[in-house]
Amino acid sequence: MNKQVIRNESIGVEYIKIDHPSGLSILLCPMQGYSQAYALFGTNYGSIDNCFKTNLDSDFVEIPDGVAHFLEHKMFENEEGDAFALYAETGASANAFTSFDRTCYLFSCTDKFEESLRILLDFVSRPYFTKETVQKEQGIIGQEIRMYEDDPDWRVMFNLLGALYHEHPVRKDIAGTVESIAEIDAELLYRCHRTFYNLSNMVLAIAGNFEVDTVLRLCDEMLKTGEDIRIEKKAVEEPAGIVRKKCEQKLAVSIPLFCIGFKEKPAQEGETVKTKVLADILLDVLAGESSPLYRELYDKGLINAQFTTEAFLGRGYFTNMFEGESKDPDAVFDAIVEQAARYQREGLPRDAFERAKKSMYGRAVAQFNNVESVALSLVSSQFQNTGLFDVVEAAANVTFEEAQAFFKEHFDGARCALSVVLPA
């Protein structure tokens, strides 16, 4: 068993990285003085992974949209009952989520950590599907899909992704469609579990109040080496341009919602952390609360306190986003595109960059005061093939010249789209 202790002296934090004989990567960050433990058991498998092949397949396999999310729902059930009922006995708070590029099962607790971890390792590793339970779940998830079809915040974002991306599956709803999940059966679920829930494709990340020896003892006891499965995910050839400049939908809102996105070239392998740090800093410079653009839009009543920015990126996609409410979304769109073009022509304000850089560094350090943030960051670092402290180091070392060059290569108004949800 390969075991490393990785420490960052500048912030005084360390974690343990273990390559378990089962193939599982284990990342542990004990945090003294905390009462809570937060554990995540995750697989490098999300909604965008709908075309893949393994060393056991002769060709790529295409699966219906929504399988990763469907699996997440079904994993809590087995022949003995429901994992949530078991967690009710330990007092732990349990949940799960599926994103575009990962699925994670989690719990947090202040007591009975060993019992709760045993439940987690067991139910995620032991699938149980039947024709009847799959059909029942199709009805439940179908209702969830219909609910999200009427959710303004959900629709304004996915409508934007549909306006930006021609081919990449990030444009599709994580849960799939009622039609796509109707194609899912027990055999397909078992196949995807065998492929993507192979321990060599997973990570166990824990932060907070727990004993390292307890974790390793349970992993040695419960986790067995699986098949030698190597996964190849089919790359998507996505055009550089966007699908359309604007899309609108009417739903039950009192004030229009908007989502604006600059479609960017995806980050190169190994550059994800630096790209995210640069984008977050520049979004703050361009439209953060202390920026001239934010003050102008706010003073004119074009945005309110709901206005946010996000560097949204992952495998094969990258969008700089601006979201909020406005009586005139088109005016907000024009102002953002115009300010971005001005900074590309005239250069960035250095004082704004330095301020945003310090703020970014502060947020990166502050996350180590929160057990949930640390555990989530451990998972991200594993699946991005980076280190837990890379964000701190990147935020500390990024230069004004790098930011200037980055900005000139991004925020192209020709590849920017506006999504609006209007009052019905």
Residue 358, pLDDT score: 97
Which architecture, in CATH terms, is 246-423? 2-Layer Sandwich (3.30)
Is the pLDDT at 1 greater than 80? The verdict is no
d(CA 18, CA 199): 13
Is the pLDDT at 130 greater than 90? The verdict is yes
Reply yes or no on whether 72 is catalytic. yes
Per-residue confidence at 268, pLDDT binned at 50, 70, 90? confident
- How would you list the strands of the sheet with 308-314, edge to edge? 246-251, 416-423, 257-263, 317-325, 308-314
Question: What is residue 245's DSSP assignment?
Answer: S
Residue 161, pLDDT score: 98
The alpha-carbon radius of gyration of the chain (Å, integer) is 22
Which of the residues 72, 77, 137, 264 is marked catalytic? 72
Tell me phi and psi for residue 261, to 5 degrees.
-140, 135
Residue 231, pLDDT score: 94
Q: What are the residue ranges of CATH 3.30.830.10 in the chain?
A: 2-233, 246-423
d(CA 404, CA 371): 34
Return the number of other C-beta atoms located less than 10 Å from residue 170's C-beta: 26
Residue 58, pLDDT score: 87
Mean predicted lDDT score pLDDT of the chain: 96
Is the pLDDT at 127 greater than 90? The verdict is yes
Per-residue confidence at 78, pLDDT binned at 50, 70, 90? confident
Is the pLDDT at 77 greater than 90? The verdict is no
Is the pLDDT at 41 greater than 90? The verdict is yes
Of the chain, the percentage scoring pLDDT greater than 70 comes to: 100
The residue written with tokens 């022509």 in the block is 345
**Pick from 217-231, 299-313, 341-355: least confident:** 217-231
Is the pLDDT at 226 greater than 90? The verdict is no
**The pair of three-digit structure tokens given for residue 126, joined into one six-digit string:** 């032991």
Contacts of 7 (CB under 8 A, 6+ apart): 13, 14
Return the number of other C-beta atoms located less than 10 Å from residue 387's C-beta: 17
2-233 is classed CATH 3.30.830.10: yes
Residue 48, pLDDT score: 97
Average pLDDT over residues 303-322: 96
Is the pLDDT at 34 greater than 80? The verdict is yes
Return the number of other C-beta atoms located less than 10 Å from residue 411's C-beta: 23
The structure's pTM equals: 0.94
Of the chain, the percentage scoring pLDDT greater than 90 comes to: 95
SS3 assignment, position 284:
helix
Residue 269, pLDDT score: 82
Q: Are the C-beta atoms of residues 181 and 253 closer than 8 Å to each other?
A: no
